[in-house]
Amino acid sequence: MPLSKSINSIYIDFDAFFANVEKQIEPSIRAMPVGVVALDSAHTALITRCYVAKRAGISRGMRVSEARKLCPDIVIRVARPDVYVGIHNKIIAEVNKHVPVKRVWSIDEMECELIGREREKAVEIARAVQNGLRRNIGEFITPSIGLAPNQFLGKVAAELEKPNGFVLLHAEDLPGRLLKLSLSDLPGISSGMEKRLNAAGVLSVQDFWNISSKHARAIWGSVEGERMWAQLHGHKIERPTTTRRMFGHSRVLSGEFKDPKRAIDCLRLLTVKAANRLRRENYTAAAISVSLRAQNKTRWSGDLQFAPCRDDRSFLKYMHELYERGIAEMRPQNLAGVYVMLHQIALPAERNRDLFETHDTRKWNTLTDVMDGFNRKEKKAIIHLGPRPEIPGGYAGAKIAFGRVPDAEDFF
Ligand SMILES: [Mg+2]
């Protein structure tokens, strides 16, 4: 494993993202302590809070009632996922102007890999990203940026001087600033793993630094320990892509699409989008869930399991089955939201393909591949199964699961 002297990774982690988005949008609360909750209730906990609130002793996960006691002037806002996702998409587009985003880790964290000559200009590129974000996204939506030989150290670097951090970690300066961190500050070390490390006599980052990579592997009981050890020491390693567990899309309905007769069209579109992403990553799914939310706040969800498949027709068929069941049980006047998720994801190689592939599924898989290939070439969904209406707001109103990469093909 080569030690990488160069800066290969720029990691961008936004500070108190939801709270700062609220501040950006609403100038009158910019100087105030702001907390964001998922539900409008005094018993709910803060999912995030701004740094003004942090300095007043407010922590994430604190109940609203407790936060108000500690900080009576705290401004509480209910999270608006659609707004945050819209800004997330603009952020990705802005970062991409300067350096390609390699991976989106969450709604407010992303990683860019530097290649070739970019490595010599790492600081310049990262400053251009920082300035571009300030100018085009907003000066209150601040990122903390870490530059390092690998993604792991980049993330650590981004954490070191929050908020508004800009930290460069060179391999030759290691372990240096890492020594003041505790083990659980390192990404990927959960409290359970910390206990295991402690039991093995590894009590600090210094201890972890000093053990051998083989020892790290033994403590983890997997190659993951060796990988983390190597990254901590500044090696650049390619991670195998992790297996995804689900592909889902949800949508808040408006106008005529609240009518259960029209909501199904929306759900069809979401199903096809999820199936398209699944196929792009070469997966199959063996289960589907559909969730419905009525305007009167009642909810229904159901799921179905089936032989692994990957074609639109099968997923649409199962989705329809669930939808009809849901509508029959719920009898909603109007729907407020729909959600579809494909799960029990596997690579074709992970199962015995022949076991599931009948003449009929083979035929539909082939047809699906032909359609995908054509649509990809045309960059538009020209061929598809059944109705595909124009949905008001287009993709912009759709929520994404925080952790998945939205890419160009999701937009048709
Ligand atoms: Mg963040």
Residues 284 and 205 in one domain: no
Residue 19, CA distances (Å) to 53, 85, 88 in order: 10, 14, 14
Q: What is the pLDDT of residue 397?
A: 35
The number of folded domains in the chain is 3
CA of 144 to the centre of ligand 1 (A): 8
Residues 109, 12: contact at Cβ < 8 Å?
yes
CATH number, domain containing residue 177: 3.30.70.270
One-letter-per-residue 3-state SS of the chain: CCECCCCCEEEEEECCHHHHHHHHHCHHHCCCCEEEECCCCCCCEEEEECHHHHHCCCCCCCEHHHHHHHCCCCEEEECCHHHHHHHHHHHHHHHHHHCCEEEEEECCEEEEECCHHHHHHHHHHHHHHHHHHHHHCCCCCCEEEEEECCHHHHHHHHHHCCCCCEEECCHHHCCHHHHHCCHHHCCCCCHHHHHHHHHCCCCCHHHHHHCCHHHHHHHHCCHHHHHHHHHHCCECCCCCCCCCCEEEEEEECCHHHHCHHHHHHHHHHHHHHHHHHHHHCCCEEEEEEEEEEECCCCEEEEEEEEEEECCHHHHHHHHHHHHHHHHHHHCCCCEEEEEEEEECCECHHHCCHHHHCCHHHHHHHHHHHHHHHHHHHHCCCCCCCCCCCCCCCHHHHEECCCCCCCCHHHHC
CA of 151 to the centre of ligand 1 (A): 15
What CA–CA distance (Å, rounded) separates 176 from 234? 12
Domain that holds residue 54: 17-83
Q: Is residue 314 part of a domain?
A: yes
Q: What is the pLDDT of residue 351?
A: 44
CA of 85 to the centre of ligand 1 (A): 14
CA of 402 to the centre of ligand 1 (A): 12
Which of 172, 205, 232 marks a domain boundary? 232
> Which of these ranges, 116-120, 207-211, 248-252, 326-330, has the smallest mean pLDDT?
248-252
CA of 273 to the centre of ligand 1 (A): 28
CA of 233 to the centre of ligand 1 (A): 24
CA of 82 to the centre of ligand 1 (A): 17
Question: What does the mean pLDDT of the chain come to?
Answer: 85
Residues 311 and 404 in one domain: yes
Which of 43, 67, 83 marks a domain boundary? 83
CA of 108 to the centre of ligand 1 (A): 5
> Which of these ranges, 259-263, 328-332, 404-408, has the smallest mean pLDDT?
404-408
CA of 17 to the centre of ligand 1 (A): 6
CATH number, domain containing residue 392: 3.30.1490.100
Q: What is the pLDDT of residue 201?
A: 96
Residues 90 and 77 in one domain: no
CA of 215 to the centre of ligand 1 (A): 32
Residues 283 and 333 in one domain: yes
Q: What is the pLDDT of residue 247?
A: 84
CATH number, domain containing residue 33: 3.40.1170.60
Residues 219 and 258 in one domain: no
pLDDT tens, position by position, 105-161: 778 899 999 988 899 999 999 999 999 999 999 999 999 999 999 999 999 999 999
pLDDT tens, position by position, 322-344: 999 999 999 999 999 999 999 87
Q: Is residue 140 part of a domain?
A: yes
Residues 313 and 365 in one domain: yes
Per-residue pLDDT band at 298 (split at 50, 70, 90)? confident
Residues 374 and 331 in one domain: yes
Q: Is residue 218 part of a domain?
A: yes
CA of 404 to the centre of ligand 1 (A): 16
What φ, ψ does residue 159 adopt, rounded to 5°?
Answer: -80, -20
Q: Is residue 305 part of a domain?
A: yes
Residues 334 and 262 in one domain: yes
Cβ neighbour number for residue 213 with a 10 Å cutoff: 18
Residues 354 and 393 in one domain: yes
Per-residue pLDDT band at 404 (split at 50, 70, 90)? very low
CA of 177 to the centre of ligand 1 (A): 20
What CA–CA distance (Å, rounded) separates 36 from 34? 7
CA of 13 to the centre of ligand 1 (A): 5
CA of 63 to the centre of ligand 1 (A): 20
Structure tokens at 150: 């690998």
Q: Is residue 390 part of a domain?
A: yes
Residues 41 and 144 in one domain: no
What percentage of the chain carries pLDDT values higher than 90? 54
CA of 16 to the centre of ligand 1 (A): 6
CA of 145 to the centre of ligand 1 (A): 11
Q: Is the pLDDT of residue 352 over 60?
A: no
Q: Is residue 401 part of a domain?
A: yes
Residues 406 and 293 in one domain: yes
pTM: 0.62
- Give ∠ CA 274-276-282 in degrees, rounded to 5: 110
CA of 15 to the centre of ligand 1 (A): 5
CA of 228 to the centre of ligand 1 (A): 21
Which of 63, 83, 103 marks a domain boundary? 83
Q: Is residue 290 part of a domain?
A: yes
Q: Is residue 240 part of a domain?
A: no
Crossing angle for the helix pair 213-220 and 191-199, to the nearest 10 degrees: 120
Residues 398 and 285 in one domain: yes
